[in-house]
Amino acid sequence: MRNIIGEINEELDKIERKEGVRILHAVESGSRAWGFASPDSDYDVRFVYVRPKEDYLRLDEPKDVIEWQLDEVLDINGWDLKKALRQFAKGNVTLFEWSESPIVYRTTAEWAQIKEISKHFFSEKAAVCHYYGTANNTLQKYLLGDLVRYKKYFYALRPLLAARYIETYHTAPPVLFDDLLKMDMPEVLRRAVDELLDVKKVTAEGEENPQIPIIRGFIVNETARQKKIANNMRNDRNKDYARLNRIFIDIVLGNEHS
């Protein structure tokens, strides 16, 4: 039997050696982190790394991503520290989800500092727009026919519930789908989602099944509602880069002695 976690850590070690980088944080992203993986789901490994100081002073600065492996089991890629901090400044939801992933393969004290600083850059508008867009894209592409892949329901449900969480609590939503389900919702919808979760655990990703009217109706109505909310939200991005610049310099200079 394959030791997937061991393989992942071996690949992360290889990345550090071959690319000459140091990984600051590596996590699971996607359905496994969200808590609704299928039996045949792959592993979406995402990481943030820092290069030696000299690489940030080059005129031909290296690429800011490492695309390492993509096959039927492992999907591994990462972002450079500078790219990650810039994306935090833009309120990029992806980075906040990596930072809060419940499945952590490795992390560092530096990342703990970044995580604390990033709280000052969470943008409600950017997050709601992202979650609305994800849900609407899933609805239009995958959920309008008579038969649907049940996993696609979750790719609309989760972002919609995340947007509702932001609307209610004005903070970054939890990554786990089960935590989002703790919010108030109609009991009939909750039962339908619970039943869907049970079916999903034994259903292959490509398998198609009939629409579930209660769930589809919620997705359609909530997507329309979140579009209106997103359009009316004020721009709340934090444009003060001082904290991010400071942590970037500290980590890059400190990396010389790591």
pLDDT at 200 over 80: no
CB atoms within 10 A of CB 16: 14
DSSP, collapsed to helix, strand or coil, labels residue 40 as: coil
8 Å CB contact between 82 and 56: yes
For residue 72, the model assigns a pLDDT of: 84
Q: Assign 207 a pLDDT band (cuts: 50, 70, 90).
A: confident
Q: What is the pTM of this model?
A: 0.92
Q: Assign 102 a pLDDT band (cuts: 50, 70, 90).
A: very high
> If you search the block for the tokens 């009316």, which residue do you land on?
232
DSSP, collapsed to helix, strand or coil, labels residue 38 as: coil
pLDDT in tens, 128-157: 999 999 999 999 999 999 999 998 999 999
For residue 255, the model assigns a pLDDT of: 82
pLDDT in tens, 38-92: 777 899 999 999 999 999 999 998 999 999 988 888 999 999 999 999 999 999 9
Q: Assign 239 a pLDDT band (cuts: 50, 70, 90).
A: very high
pLDDT in tens, 6-47: 999 999 999 999 999 999 999 999 899 999 887 778 999 999
DSSP, collapsed to helix, strand or coil, labels residue 178 as: helix
Residues 93-117, mean pLDDT to the nearest whole number: 97
CB atoms within 10 A of CB 37: 20
